[in-house]
Homo-oligomer: A and B are copies of this chain.
């Protein structure tokens, strides 16, 4: 196994509404020839959106909306940038779930819930500097 994730797929109750949200966040829908699933290009990997029932059928698991076992983090370039991303998400239809605050680990963090309840952390982490292209390379 190479150290790789190719797609993070989020279940959705309303594919069209979820696409509207992520397009309002600035992501670009690609591979539109697949009408029942949405793909957005990220930093060398893909954000997928797929109806809850189809996702559950595909992976043979109950599905539904059991948020809390998996989170996705978006690391911003500064505390002000994190604030702006959270505000953008709320303007696009997300719920501000944990307001941004100084985190116990020394950074700055908040969470929004996307329209299907998936928790997205938006953080500024001074210990994990971002590369120019927005990717992360961990320290040893």
Within 8 A of B (CB), among A36-77: 39-48, 52, 55-56, 58-75
Is the pair B68, A63 in contact by a Cβ cutoff of 8 Å? yes
Interface presence of A88 (CB below 8 A): yes
Residues B10 and A41 in contact, CB atoms below 8 Å apart = no
Q: How many Å lie between the Cα of A67 and that of B97 in the bound state? A: 21
Chain A: residues with Cβ within 8 Å of the partner, total of: 74
In the complex, chain B residues whose CB is within 8 Å of the CB of A75: 4, 6-7
Considering the chains assembled together, what is the distance between the CA atoms of A48 and B72 in angstroms? 10
Query: Which applies to chain A's interface (DSSP): helix, strand, loop or mixed?
Result: loop
Q: Does A11 contact B (CB under 8 A)?
A: yes
* A 1-20 to B, binary, CB cutoff 8 A, 1 in contact else 0: 11111111111000000000
Question: Are A11 and B70 interface neighbours, CB within 8 A?
Answer: yes
Residues on the B chain within 8 Å of A98, using CB = 59-60
Interface residues of A (CB under 8 A from B): 1-11, 25-28, 30-32, 34, 39-48, 52, 55-56, 58-75, 85, 88-89, 97-98, 105, 111, 116, 118-119, 121, 123, 127-128, 130-131, 133-140
